[in-house]
Amino acid sequence: MSYEITASRKRPQNFHQMAGQEFVVATLENAITTERIAHAYLFSGPRGVGKTSSARILAKSLNCELGPTTEPCGKCNNCKEITNGSSMDVIEIDGASNTSVNDVREIKDEVLFAPSSSRYKIYIIDEVHMLSNSAFNALLKTIEEPPPYIIFIFATTEIHKVPATIRSRCQQFNFRLIDADTVKQRLIEACNEMNLRYEDDALFWIAKEGTGSMRDSYTLFDQVVAFSDDHITLEKIREKLGLVGLDQMNQLCEYILEGNVSSVLNYVEDILIKGVSVEQFIIDLTEYYRSILFLQSGIDRESLLGFSVDRFNGKVIEGYNRTQLEKAIEDLLKLYRDIRYSLNQRYELELTLTKFCSLTNFFTSRELYDKIKELQDNNQSHPVSQVDQKKK
């Protein structure tokens, strides 16, 4: 059986389908309702959070035959053409490929002509920060005094590269990363539409790996669907993508806590021989110790831990102090940076893990000073008598 989520199905078709951008949606809907439409918008934020999708939705809302409306019908010719990318009045431009001043001059010539079949002629320029300085200067006058039927929508992942003269002439909207719970809910909806069975932990892992990007999460979701048949499970993800499962991490870190070097090295051998890369192993182990550190700090939110609290090994949680966990995470981050230049990545990993077997003996210089001072204070409060000294 074939499962597919097409690009158009992934992309929101109206503002209500936008995930995690409530402030942006509310402001744009209010502007449309009150007919306070600006001539230039600047959408900024991380990749895959809905900037370009919002620009298309705004274009449909303004040019829909039933509009301007906050709920474009999606059925009229204008809506269909914008969705298909074939509208003569909604022009999408890739700022990374059209960076020269000549490209902008073409826009300046085109804006003199009214839209052919819509209310507005809308220019959506993606990655606008890639335009050259001369291109920005050429665009400046057009943005400042555009014809009444022209609207510019700029999208960028690097707003600091957009000149202040451009930013000051645009209404700015900052898009945020989308929290894992919201992404997971969208993935659940996709599974229901496709009649797929799923484990909550599996979908949550996908949402977490998307790091706040809905597009990245959908891309990973498509990959997982391709090898999951009709049932998405965390075990299949771990097996196919070469990940270390939580149960394995619990057991490994318990061996490390006990200082059992032979068991640690044998267990690592069993994990790596199944196809887990050294880099992925370090990533998973770092994330595990990070979760233990969070638990010790009283943080039990599943969206941060990736799993429910009861899934973690209680011995490991109680076996380390904060300083030791911070040391472990710091060493693993350094190891990840160093292995790219290593003669043998596996040797580096094994050396680090054997050192971790004595991690419970690690103290900072400050902690050592405090312990020495405590011993000195105890000796001063309980001085050895002269009789005891003579006996010695």
pLDDT tens digits, 96-107: 776 667 777 788
Helix (H, G, I), strand (E, B) or coil at 232: strand
Please state whether beta strands 121-126 and 231-232 pair in parallel, antiparallel, or not at all (unpaired). Answer: unpaired
Give CATH for domain 180-241: 1.10.8.60
Closest CA to 260 of 299, 325, 74, 268: 268
DSSP state at residue 175: P
79 pLDDT above the threshold of 70: yes
Identify whether the C-beta of residue 20 lies closer than 8 Å to the C-beta of residue 176.
Answer: yes
Say what the pLDDT of residue 345 is: 92
Supply the pLDDT for residue 8: 36
Sequence-ordered list of residues with C-beta below 8 angstroms from that of 327, at least 6 positions apart, any chain: 359, 362
pTM confidence score: 0.75
Q: What average pLDDT does the segment 222-239 reach?
A: 89
Cα 311 from Cα 224, distance rounded (Å): 23
Nearest alpha-carbon partner for 137 in 110, 173, 164, 97: 164
Query: Is it the case that residue 350 has pLDDT exceeding 90?
Result: yes
Length of the chain measured in residues = 392
Q: Which of 18-22, 282-286, 306-310, 374-378 has the highest mean pLDDT?
A: 282-286
Whether domain 246-365 has CATH 1.20.272.10: yes
Torsion of the alpha carbons at 337, 338, 344 and 346, rounded to the nearest 10: -50
Q: Rounded mean pLDDT of 189-205?
A: 90
Domain ranges of the chain: 7-174, 180-241, 246-365
| CA–CA separation, 294 and 277 (whole Å) | 26
Q: Could you say which architecture CATH assigns to the domain 7-174?
A: 3-Layer(aba) Sandwich (3.40)
Which residues, 6+ apart, have CB-to-CB distance to 65 below 8 Å?
73, 76, 77, 78, 79
CA 85 vs. chain centroid, Å, equals 27
Confidence bin at 14 (pLDDT 50/70/90)? confident
pLDDT at 198: 92
Distance, CA of 283 to CA of 9 (rounded, Å)? 32
- CA–centroid distance for 193 within its chain: 24
pLDDT surpasses 80 at 47: yes
* Helix axes of 261-272 and 278-296: crossing angle, nearest 10 degrees: 120
Residue 139: is its pLDDT beyond 70? yes
User: Using CA atoms, how far apart are residues 7 and 215, in angstroms rounded to an integer?
Assistant: 10
